[in-house]
Structure 1
Amino acid sequence: MTGTVTTIWVDASSGASGDMLLGALVGAGVPVETIRTAVDAVSPEPVELRVEAATRHGFAATRVHVEVADSAHHRTWRDIRTLLLEAPLADDVRDLALRAFERLAVAEGTVHGHDPMDVHFHEVGALDAIADVVGVCAGFVHLAAGEVVVSPVAVGSGSVRGAHGVLPVPPPAVAALLTGVPSYAGPGEGELCTPTGAALLTTLATAYAAQPAMTTTGIGVGAGGRDPESHANVLRLLVGTAVPRAEDPDDLLVLETNVDDLDPRLWPEVIAAVMAAGALDAWLTPILMKKGRPAHTFRALVAPDRAAEVRAAVFRETTTIGIRDYPVSRHALPRETTTVTVGGLEIAVKVARLDGLVVTAQPEYDDVVRAARALDRPVREVLAEATAAARVLTA
């Protein structure tokens, strides 16, 4: 299916794991040999992929078994990174796999207080997880995935036994990986989303939502290893092309108030609270009121269905006793989020398109600051390097 840009919707309403994604990819038409070639290029020890038909609660699905011999090697992120860098992989497959494993390493290092480079992956560092990550990345590259929309992710409930003992579900690494991502308990009990599954979804996703407008050309259903009574333990991929969307303006509201008696140091917190309440944007304008009093006009741009929550936040966080609102129309460019790498660390980049062509690509400043601190480099240097890397996207 190479040669065209593909839209993929990942239905993770029953959870996600590496082998479920592999099964869904094979079911959607990715040749097993494509996956096997990529896995063999990286794995330092023999790995066998065995495909079989399965059913889960009446769903016909594809199960991919990753079979490996017992290994005495406990590999760190440093070891796996070397394997990936030295393997004869396509650059886009290598990049995705490096990003997925880096996410795993940072998550594991954060929750256990270790340097990410020295994290021993335990379950996720075994040969089967190397096969899962590399194989899934190769499959998505084969499908020429341009837009990957992921549903809210089911994570499970209860507890699970891991290398560090009994852990709550979602396990700490999964919770860290899915920070900022829509998730919920989902059907049944136990662990529904594994660290490997979470790392892959968050690496591949360009958006999180219900199924987008698309013309579906293929469906893959990947079976999980368990077959619980509570639900069909499957992950679905819908593969196709995006339906062109009419560029109608958004009908929004501007909430507005004049404030002359608030300590100016509080305004950054006001803006943060209003954004957290659902505002699309918020800003201040210095003004001069009657009798020469200095003041600010505070404005927030909101969707009508979020106006009540944002209005309440303005009342709570400021000294105003009255708020005006008026309708506006907004024409917004389609946008997506990708990443660039500076010093081995990911920095998100917001990309906007006009008639399908990239017209702007801006690094997220919070990510730049985080990377600068981690690398012990000036923020301005990291910002300049990230901006230069982002500019390549518009070329």
Structure 2
Amino acid sequence: MKNRILYLDCVSGISGDMCLAALVDSGVPFEELVSGLKGLDIEGYRMEKKEVKKSGLRACKIEIIVTQHRPYRHFKDVREIIRRSHLPDKVKNLSLKAFKQLFEAEAKVHGADPEKIHLHELSAVDCFIDIVGTFYCLDYLRIEEALCSPVNLGGGVVETEHGVLPVPAPATVELLRGWPVYSRGIKRELTTPTGAVILSTAFKPSDTIPMMEIESVGYGAGSMDIEGYPNVLRAITGRKGKEENIRDSILHIETNIDDMNPQVYEYLMERLFEKGALDVYLTQIIMKKSRPGVILNVLCDEDKLEEMTEILLGESTTIGVRFRKLYRQCLDREIREIETKWGRVRFKLVQSPGGTRCSPEYEDCKKIARERGIPLTQVIQTITSMAEELIEGQDE
């Protein structure tokens, strides 16, 4: 099934077992999960699924009962277990990425080498099951886009093998750099390093539930019972409607400049595009004392604010920037390639209410025009016609 989207509501934080249980409750058959995880060469445990209530809400609880304790493991041991497993490649890759990030985060906060550090949390069977099982569920549900709300971290302190640590745990903070987080209401550890690394590996933050056709809602229960507070993770799974592909939010960053060498703008714009700006443009203005100036405008994803601001403040003469959130609606589009007598050329296929239209990639056309000595307009017209014929043939 195409266009499947998942949204995690992290008002009660997130842990590995909560995430796994929420996905099972969203539609992954428990027997399928148990069978799939047999591809992970780990013994000495069994899994149980229970239905519990948390502050009046029904939720799924996945328990890992360890029957044989394993010794400490280094990252190389974890890596070998995952690599030799019989899991889908996508699950393997996400799992390896997650464990690498987790070891690096723990090593950084404890001042150790990731390859030498050994962590009790990672030696436990349930850590493998929580992380690998979650990615197995994402693959089973055919999730194409995974999003989550701002994350409630909790507060207070937590006891670990390293002693008493503040909440959120240092590794959790390290893993969620750049994420919208908060701490409100509960003096308990709501978000664990395992939950944090699942988010940092496979999810993107979103401050609102995306537009979707809801297919299922799952609730994963946490281990703690918190009076008057539903310690659950809600997973909302659905399909993107036609409009969901085209509505989202972006940031508009701008600054007024009247004292910079105009030659610098080209380099500055290149730097911004290299770092992920969606668009950069200049607007001529008349500033105070009738001085001609420029508004430098940058459109970017919300998680690019820090990078864009750093470039603007470091590469231009401005001493400050303004930014605001914008909502946009775009036509659904995708980049495709077509084989031509000049080689492979990319073109943009746009889905509009009136049908489809094709737009050749300008840089590809420009390169052909220069190398072949052909007028650019002729190249664009030829490739547009070829692309339209290709699409019409596929629709028949």
Do both share a fold (TM > 0.5)? yes
Given the two structures, how large is their TM-score scaled by the length of structure 1? 0.67
Describe the superposition over 1:141-160 as per-residue Cα deviations: whole angstroms up to 9, x where unpaired: 11000011111111111111
1:93 aligned partner: 91
Q: How far apart in 2 are the matches of 1:150 and 1:208?
A: 6
1:104 aligned partner: 102
1:259 aligned partner: 258
Identity %: 34
Flag the 1:153–1:259 CA change in 2: closer, same or farther, 3 A: same
Structure with max Cα Rg: 2
Superposed displacement of residue 320, structure 1:
7.5
2:213 aligned partner: 215
Aligned counterpart for 1:243 among listed residues 213, 235, 241? 241
1:44-83 equivalences in 2 (<5 Å): 44-83=42-81
1:228 aligned partner: 226
Flag the 1:255–1:67 CA change in 2: closer, same or farther, 3 A: closer
1:150 aligned partner: 148
Superposed displacement of residue 245, structure 1:
1.8
Aligned counterpart for 1:140 among listed residues 124, 138, 141? 138
On the 8 A contact 2:146/2:202 being kept in 1, the answer is: yes
Task: Tell me which amino acid in the other structure corresponds to 1:299.
Answer: L
On the 8 A contact 1:51/1:65 being kept in 2, the answer is: yes
Superposed displacement of residue 93, structure 1:
1.4
Flag the 1:255–1:177 CA change in 2: closer, same or farther, 3 A: closer
1:378 aligned partner: none
1:392 aligned partner: none
Partner SS, residue 117 of structure 1 = coil
Describe the superposition over 1:39-72 as per-residue Cα deviations: whole angstroms up to 9, x where unpaired: 3322432221101110000100011101112524
2:25 aligned partner: 27
- After alignment, is 23-32 or 79-88 more displaced? 23-32
Structure 2 runs not aligned, ≥5 long: 272-276, 284-291, 301-307, 335-347, 361-396
Given the two structures, how large is their TM-score scaled by the length of structure 2? 0.67
Structure 1 runs not aligned, ≥5 long: 273-278, 286-294, 304-309, 337-351, 361-395
Describe the superposition over 1:85-118 as per-residue Cα deviations: whole angstroms up to 9, x where unpaired: 0011111111121121112112112212222233
Partner SS, residue 190 of structure 1 = coil
- After alignment, is 3-12 or 137-146 more displaced? 3-12
Describe the superposition over 1:206-226 as per-residue Cα deviations: whole angstroms up to 9, x where unpaired: 443321001111111000011
Partner SS, residue 225 of structure 2 = coil
On the 8 A contact 2:282/2:297 being kept in 1, the answer is: no
On the 8 A contact 2:50/2:60 being kept in 1, the answer is: yes
1:374 aligned partner: none
Partner SS, residue 65 of structure 2 = strand
Q: How far apart in 1 are the matches of 2:350 and 2:65?
A: 47
Q: How far apart in 2 are the matches of 1:329 and 1:67?
A: 47
On the 8 A contact 1:43/1:131 being kept in 2, the answer is: no
Say whether 1:159 aligns with 2:140: no
Q: How far apart in 1 are the matches of 2:181 and 2:100?
A: 21
Flag the 1:355–1:193 CA change in 2: closer, same or farther, 3 A: farther
Flag the 1:83–1:62 CA change in 2: closer, same or farther, 3 A: same
On the 8 A contact 2:46/2:65 being kept in 1, the answer is: yes
Q: How far apart in 1 are the matches of 2:10 and 2:249?
A: 29
On the 8 A contact 2:21/2:220 being kept in 1, the answer is: yes
Task: Tell me which amino acid in the other structure corresponds to 1:155.
Answer: L
Partner SS, residue 78 of structure 1 = helix
Aligned counterpart for 1:172 among listed residues 170, 174, 194? 170
Partner SS, residue 243 of structure 2 = coil
Flag the 1:56–1:117 CA change in 2: closer, same or farther, 3 A: same
Aligned counterpart for 1:203 among listed residues 190, 201, 204? 201
1:307 aligned partner: none
Q: How far apart in 2 are the matches of 1:144 and 1:155?
A: 28
Q: How far apart in 1 are the matches of 2:108 and 2:250?
A: 42
Superposed displacement of residue 162, structure 1:
0.9
Say whether 1:300 aligns with 2:297: yes
Task: Tell me which amino acid in the other structure corresponds to 1:219.
Answer: V
Task: Tell me which amino acid in the other structure corresponds to 2:240.
Answer: A
**How many residues matched?**
316
Q: How far apart in 2 are the matches of 1:353 and 1:157?
A: 49
Q: How far apart in 2 are the matches of 1:151 and 1:228?
A: 21
Superposed displacement of residue 251, structure 1:
11
1:128 aligned partner: 126
Superposed displacement of residue 121, structure 1:
2.4
Task: Tell me which amino acid in the other structure corresponds to 2:297.
Answer: A
1:180-195 equivalences in 2 (<5 Å): 180-195=178-193
1:8 aligned partner: 6
On the 8 A contact 2:154/2:190 being kept in 1, the answer is: yes
Task: Tell me which amino acid in the other structure corresponds to 2:212.
Answer: M
Flag the 1:121–1:333 CA change in 2: closer, same or farther, 3 A: farther
Flag the 1:60–1:109 CA change in 2: closer, same or farther, 3 A: same
Describe the superposition over 1:255-293 as per-residue Cα deviations: whole angstroms up to 9, x where unpaired: 56443379x99x999x99xxxxxx9866789xxxxxxxx
Task: Tell me which amino acid in the other structure corresponds to 1:201.
Answer: L
Task: Tell me which amino acid in the other structure corresponds to 2:206.
Answer: Y
Q: How far apart in 2 are the matches of 1:64 and 1:240?
A: 23
Flag the 1:83–1:240 CA change in 2: closer, same or farther, 3 A: same
On the 8 A contact 1:40/1:46 being kept in 2, the answer is: no
On the 8 A contact 1:16/1:198 being kept in 2, the answer is: yes
Q: How far apart in 1 are the matches of 2:96 and 2:57?
A: 33
Task: Tell me which amino acid in the other structure corresponds to 2:227.
Answer: E
On the 8 A contact 1:14/1:154 being kept in 2, the answer is: yes
